[in-house]
Amino acid sequence: MARLSLRAEARRFYLGYLWWILEPLLYVAVFWLVFDKLLGTRTPNFLMFLAVGKLAFIWFSKTVNNAASSIINNAGLIARMDLPKALFPLVVVLECSYRQLAVFLLLAVFLLFDGQMPTLQWLWVVPLAVVQILLIIACGFIAALLVCVSRDFVPLISLGTIFLMFVSGVFWDLNSLPDQNAANLLLILNPLAYLLDGYRQILLWQQPLNTVHLAVLTAILLIVNFVLAKLIHRYGRHIARRVISQ
Amino acid sequence: MSVAIRLVDIGMQFAVSKNHDGGAHRVLEGLNLEIRRGEKVGLMGRNGAGKSTLLRIIAGIFPPAHGEVWRHPDMTVALLSLGLGFKNELTGRENAFLAAMLQGLSRKQAGQRLQDIGQFSELGAYYDEPVKTYSAGMRARLGFATGLLLETDILLLDEILAVGDRGFRVKAREALQEKISADRTIVMVHHAERAIQEICTRAVWLEQGAVRMDGDVNAVISAYGSQS
């Protein structure tokens, strides 16, 4: 299903599959222009710093926003078949993760051009990406449920991801905050901030990861996802009634 | 014959106002119905009598607000209705494949059915064009062919025979009569009495959310006809 959706989307646009990497790159370009050229940031090697953060963040924001409408967008199908409702957000996650694979590969090429040497430490990207997928699934489930309750949540979720972008250190460095306690608090409370910082630690700064943090985060996310999946399963038919009668 | 579907004291309402606290529109109230395996039941009634809602409750799409729904645990069910449900950007073939997979067929089984579905729906070269280029009749044909050729025990048809050109309607009815000679159970909603006469062995007339009359097709049709 995810693969078919991807094919469908590629067909809708003139440039087709090219948009997968073009769109995130344009975002990076715009942010770079504003923060580096116009405002003048003091972060060293800002372009790469931004690329790592922004590309990982877009994966999150785009997927969650798409997942939010995934159930109501399939009302036609839901009206005909008693399908597990968790399927729809999960398809979106799978779809976007396929694309992200291409984006990450491109990022690797950029890093090589930038003179970063690939080390074994780069492999830490894999567990980080897995945890990010878990986080995306959890947020996607919640977003999709909220939109089933009311469509009014669609713009709110979109606003929410923008807020998250500002507090996750996409274009500023957490480690440069004057108050290190605040930075630490942010890393604990905002898993996305931890993940973005984690990608940079490995790819740009060759620093070891805080693995305890990663393990705890994984455990919490697994539990949250389990509970959410149960909830969606249990109320699947009520969701259907809601979606069809709206 | 064994019971396929049993509905006891079914009630259903939908919220009318936007905030869902205001009035509720009662669609079904105190409905009882028992359908046996192999029966071909035609549902009749005015617009808003609750026919489509009833089919969805039988299909298990959503639960009724109150009452009991029992469906034979070994029987599979498919609901065919018009309208949404296709992915517009995908071709007819891809949509049929998706529907087959979602019905629980394996990749291989689904692949085998694709040819037949394409042939029956008479889409020709359009079968490999995106569904958004289809006319309403073509969509209906694809939907019907897909539903018909995925063999389920209980087939619920919501106005699905009303579309397509005359030739296709005849063919669809014939195929249905052929397919239903076995012990498949059918519940269909259709506004044309002739289709119900041709296919069904029993008719049920719904009014104000409950069964007003139930029995022989011709008797129900003539009573319904003299009423409206």
Per-residue pLDDT at A15: 59
Mean pLDDT of B161-169: 74
User: Residue A163: which pLDDT band, with cuts at 50, 70 and 90?
Assistant: very high
Q: Between chains, do B61 and A238 touch, taking CB under 8 Å as contact?
A: no
Q: Between chains, do A75 and B86 touch, taking CB under 8 Å as contact?
A: no
Q: DSSP class of residue A116?
A: P
Q: Between chains, do B62 and A4 touch, taking CB under 8 Å as contact?
A: no
Q: Between chains, do B61 and A4 touch, taking CB under 8 Å as contact?
A: no
- The number of beta carbons lying within 10 Å of the beta carbon of residue A238 is 13
The Cα of A150 is separated from the nearest Cα of chain B by a number of Å equal to 10
The Cα of A59 is separated from the nearest Cα of chain B by a number of Å equal to 23
| Whether pLDDT at A59 is above 90 | yes
| Whether pLDDT at A175 is above 90 | no
Q: Is A104 helix (H, G, I), strand (E, B) or coil?
A: helix
Q: Is B81 on the interface with A (CB under 8 A)?
A: yes
The Cα of A2 is separated from the nearest Cα of chain B by a number of Å equal to 10
Angle at B180 between CA B174 and CA B181, to 5 degrees: 95
Q: Using CA coordinates, name the residue in chain A closest to B101.
A: A1
- Residue with more model confidence, B42 or B177: B42
Q: Between chains, do A82 and B84 touch, taking CB under 8 Å as contact?
A: no
Q: Please tell me which of A137-146, B94-103, B143-152, B190-199 the model is most confident about, judged by mean pLDDT.
A: A137-146
How far apart are the C-alpha atoms of A36 and A42, rounded to whole Å?
Answer: 8
Sheet containing strand B24-36, strands side by side: B24-36, B3-15, B66-71
3-state helix, strand, coil in chain A (%, to 5): 80, 0, 20
Q: Is A38 helix (H, G, I), strand (E, B) or coil?
A: helix
Task: State the pairing for strand pair B202-207/B40-44.
Answer: parallel
Query: In whole numbers, what is the pLDDT of chain A averaged over residues?
Result: 87
Mean pLDDT of B166-192: 78
How far apart are the C-alpha atoms of B199 and B209, rounded to whole Å?
Answer: 24
Per-residue pLDDT at A153: 93
- Residue with more model confidence, A183 or A55: A55
Count of A-B CB contacts under 8 Å: 67
Q: Is A2 on the interface with B (CB under 8 A)?
A: no
How far apart are the C-alpha atoms of B3 and B6, rounded to whole Å?
Answer: 7
Q: Is A245 on the interface with B (CB under 8 A)?
A: yes
Residue B207 pairs with which residues in a beta bridge? Answer: B210
User: Residue A157: which pLDDT band, with cuts at 50, 70 and 90?
Assistant: very high
Per-residue pLDDT at B193: 82
- Cα Rg, chain A, nearest whole Å: 19
Contacts of A11 (CB under 8 A, 6+ apart): B89, B130
| Whether pLDDT at A8 is above 70 | no
pLDDT in tens, A78-97: 887 888 899 899 988 988 89
- Rounded to the nearest angstrom, the gap between the alpha carbon of residue A49 and the centroid of all alpha carbons in its chain is 17
Per-residue pLDDT at A62: 93
Residue in A175, A219, A169, A159 with CA at minimum distance from that of residue A192: A169
How far apart are the C-alpha atoms of A187 and A233, rounded to whole Å?
Answer: 32
- The number of beta carbons lying within 10 Å of the beta carbon of residue A94 is 17
Chain A residues in contact with B89 by the CB 8 A cut-off are 7-9, 11-12
How far apart are the C-alpha atoms of B5 and B58, rounded to whole Å?
Answer: 8
| Whether pLDDT at B22 is above 80 | no
Mean pLDDT of A173-182: 82
Q: Between chains, do A81 and B15 touch, taking CB under 8 Å as contact?
A: no
- Cα Rg, chain B, nearest whole Å: 18
User: Residue B84: which pLDDT band, with cuts at 50, 70 and 90?
Assistant: low
| Whether pLDDT at A242 is above 70 | yes
Per-residue pLDDT at A217: 94
Per-residue pLDDT at A158: 94
User: Residue A181: which pLDDT band, with cuts at 50, 70 and 90?
Assistant: confident
Long-range Cβ contact pairs of A218-222 (< 8 A, separation 24 or more) = A218/A130, A218/A131, A218/A134, A221/A131, A221/A134, A221/A135, A221/A138, A221/A191, A222/A134
Handedness of CA B156, B162, B163, B168 (dihedral sign): positive
How far apart are the C-alpha atoms of B171 and B183, rounded to whole Å?
Answer: 21
- Residue with more model confidence, B186 or A130: A130
Q: Is B70 on the interface with A (CB under 8 A)?
A: no
| Whether pLDDT at A127 is above 60 | yes
User: Residue A12: which pLDDT band, with cuts at 50, 70 and 90?
Assistant: low
How far apart are the C-alpha atoms of B92 and B112, rounded to whole Å?
Answer: 15
How far apart are the C-alpha atoms of A3 and A30, rounded to whole Å?
Answer: 30
Which of residues 4 through 23 in chain A touch B, CB cutoff 8 A? 4-5, 7-9, 11-12
pLDDT in tens, B85-102: 677 778 888 888 888 877
Q: Is A99 helix (H, G, I), strand (E, B) or coil?
A: helix
- The number of beta carbons lying within 10 Å of the beta carbon of residue B12 is 25
Q: DSSP class of residue A151?
A: T
Per-residue pLDDT at B217: 85
Strand ranges for chain B from DSSP E:
3-15, 24-36, 40-44, 66-71, 77-81, 154-158, 185-189, 202-207, 210-215
| Whether pLDDT at B20 is above 70 | no
Q: Using CA coordinates, name the residue in chain B closest to A5.
A: B90
Give me A63's structure tokens. Answer: 């997927």
Per-residue pLDDT at A221: 96
How far apart are the C-alpha atoms of A84 and A38, rounded to whole Å?
Answer: 49
Query: B113-144: buried (b, 16+ CB within 10 Å) or exposed (e) per residue?
Result: bbeebbebbbbeebbeebbeebeeebbbbbbb
Looking at chain B, the whole-number percentage of residues with pLDDT higher than 70 is 89
Q: What is the ipTM of this complex?
A: 0.73
Residue in B204, B178, B179, B154 with CA at minimum distance from that of residue B42: B204
Mean pLDDT of B116-144: 84
- DSSP H or E stretch at residue A168: none
Q: Is B27 on the interface with A (CB under 8 A)?
A: no
Q: Mapped to the 3 state alphabet, what secondary structure does B90-142 carry? A: CEHHHHHHHHHHHCCCCHHHHHHHHHHHHHHCCCHHHHHCEHHHCCHHHHHHH
Per-residue pLDDT at A230: 94
Superfamily for the B39-65+74-227 domain: P-loop containing nucleotide triphosphate hydrolases (3.40.50.300)
Mean pLDDT of A191-196: 93
Per-residue pLDDT at A68: 94
Contacts of B32 (CB under 8 A, 6+ apart): B7, B8, B9, B10, B211
Per-residue pLDDT at A9: 61
Query: In whole numbers, what is the pLDDT of chain B averaged over residues?
Result: 82
